[in-house]
Chains A and B, each alone.
Chain A
Amino acid sequence: MVETFNNLLLGFSVALQPSILVYAFVGCLIGTLVGMMPGLGPLAGISLLLPATFGLNPIIAIVLLAGVYYGAMYGGSTTSILLSIPGEAASVMTCVDGYAMTQNGRAGPALAIAAIGSFVAGTLGVIGLMLLAPTLAEFALRFGPPEYTALLLMGLFILAYMSGGSMLKTLAMAAFGLMLGMIGIDVMSGYTRFSFGVVELGDGVGIVPVAVGLFGVSEILLAAGGTVAPRVQQPKLRDLVPSREEFRLSAGPIARGSLLGFLIGIIPGSAHIISSFVSYGIERRLSRHPERFGQGAIEGVAGPESANNAAATGAFVPMLALGIPTSPVTAVMIAAIMVHGVLPGPMLIQQQPELFWGFVASMYVGNVVLLILNLPMVGLFVNLLRIPYGYLYPCILCFCILGTYSVSNSLVDVWILLAMGGIGYVLRKFRYDLAPVALGLVLAPMIELSLRQSLAMSAGDYGIFLQRPIATTMLALGVVLLLLALKPLVFRGKDWRETVGLEKQG
């Protein structure tokens, strides 16, 4: 505990440097604006800023991008509450009761509780990250290729179990993403696979064009028809204070949402989206008056908003401790810090403590910045929503092209972006979840390499996965979850997703 405290002091000595404070502030500000704009979620925002971080030092780069990430989580709630437009997918559940509160004249308290809940959840999430990541990293030092193979496969099975909507579709999308990850040079044999004569594809398909195409461009293509500027309420600072009763009702959902969100954030998938759905379902179930949900229940804002912010922090645990992304956002962030020669994983905390602890401390700072930024300035931010979408989306589209091109100055990346935009558009029409595609793409080289290394270690004996306790346990857990996910499909039973409203994600 004393060691953790000393490390945290080291972190604050890094995070409170003026240059890092400025970048944390800029990241939070950009993130809030990005989160408010439909079509530009945290992923697109981070991807677009990625090339700009190449010239920065790794601590500043990760602080800036993390600021964008949790800033977008905050920003998404504002449009949900005021306009019933989720700036990003995790805010969908906030629309239900948040917008109902706005219609009842209680927009201010809804915004305040969303901000306070996000602050509490973000702070508790950072404490969890601080305590869990070093322990997990120490444990992961025992991992060899078989353990990594088992861990990655378990992650995919958990993804299938936790996904909103059809498990078959999730697995199909994960397989599609893994296939995309097969494009390029096979590191063990030197073969160039599926490049169709395009030299640039020898390096494989990058996460940025795929992620921005699937999530950013497809959203624009779906929404391009709607061009009418919505009427926006501008709550004043004095309207923001919630009543004592609203504080009392929100305390439990914020605490539960924080814990739940953090735990869901650690496991793979669209954690911040899933956690907000699950939190809403739980709050509705626990409420003595569930009929209030949908009519402006403040618990329906406090729970999901806390959960999605805690999940955003939880996602950093496997990223920093194991070097494994559990979401497209963390995948892009891993790419961002690898550019600087920093390899996330078990050795990161030991070899670069100032980076890890500086990042942790900057998240405390970022949460405070966001609270200060969001509550008093909400009236200013909502002016952005007055820009007609007909003017906004062409600019967002140009940002997508600009951001993708500038990652490696490659036109092939822009073609991939456009192709993924079209594919994402069609897949969303058919109600497929797109997050597994991005995750599969990132995990594919890791799975292939660790599987083949494992087999090389055992002279081709698959029994190696059953001879090593950690690998066996992880595989068994993954298989059990897969079977549980298959159960409602085979026996036509009620799926757990339906009980928490997850199937509505489509």
Chain B
Amino acid sequence: MTSTVESLGSVSQPPHVSKGTKSSAWILSKRYWYWLSFILPAIPLASGYLAIETGHGIWLWFTVAVLYAILPAADYIFGTDDANPDDELVEKLKGERYYVYIMYLATFVHWASLVGMAYIVSQYDWSWFSILGGAVSAGIINGVGLVAGHEMGHKVNDRAQATCAKLVLACSGYGHFCIEHNKGHHKDVATPEDPASSKFGESIYKFVKREIPGAFRRAWSLESARLERLGKSEWSMSNEILQSGLITVVAYTLMLAYWGPVMIPFLMIAAGYGWWQLTCANYVEHYGLLRLKNENGRYERCQPHHSWNSNHKASNLILLHLQRHSDHHAHPTRPYQVLRDYADVPSLPSGYPWMFVLAMIPSAWYSVMNPKVIEWAGGDMNKVNVDPDLKEDIFNRYHQPQKTNEAA
């Protein structure tokens, strides 16, 4: 195994550690920047208020502009975040409950945001276009809620965090995420078996048809197996997928009952666009990357070079350092405030917001990312997670393993 793995040119180095008071001061000051986790979900409410006050329904689209225009611009302007906490700072920060309380508050604001936007679109006279803007905005915030759910959902042995994860994931009816992600995606990441790892040559529109049903099936199967070991039915209320699903059903039913049929398209679009944000994240996080098998037939352990990393400052503050994805997959239980950047890992040219835009335009995505994957694998397409439907064509066009040997 060792020789095979080491032949990859991108074996990751340990995280570089920033020294000096300036770096530490910035890391410590992030404790206030993380307030963005509950400020961001309030943006649709603020834009809804402006829409009501001015009578211009176009304000209901404002959150869409935040994600796809303002955040990419902020990433471009503020660049990358050079500060990595040293071991002493990691020890100091990782157990501080303050960072968890921010997540609890974010859970509350996410529900307030969804219900508030549902109220705004249903109780005032808007054009269908404005309602669509409100629904997509709510969907974007549901996607941000999945990031909070992801963070808390990894803390499986902290009952309060696990409960809040279920609550916030219920905003978009994606309660199976914790099981699917922790026990499924993290185990199978960067392998052909993982429905949540995208393959070289696979467009996001093809990926989503594999990802959404595959993720749900895997979650249900894992939960059924756990309940069987406990001697319980998969339809019992101990089923954590059903627990979260029940919260969604009750909340959506109440909104439908009180605020009428407009809730049907609104909630479907808001939930669906939330799911789409997750699809976008899954698509960009491991595109084409492949873990190799050792002599025993087991995949090598997931290492930092099996994730696309992005160290952009602005989007990392919004997304709880999720984009320091190499560290996250190498150490999944590490809390967001102490995730670190790695040197020599595959890196995205921008933060997620702009990468999502590229992902939605497959030709643009391929032109930016395919050369990066080929470089990562040293031209050996046997070391790439390739879409099997396009394997022959991809190998004919890109497979040049000799180049690696010459370079070495």
Q: Do A and B bind each other?
A: no
Which residues of B approach A to under 8 Å, CB–CB?
Answer: none
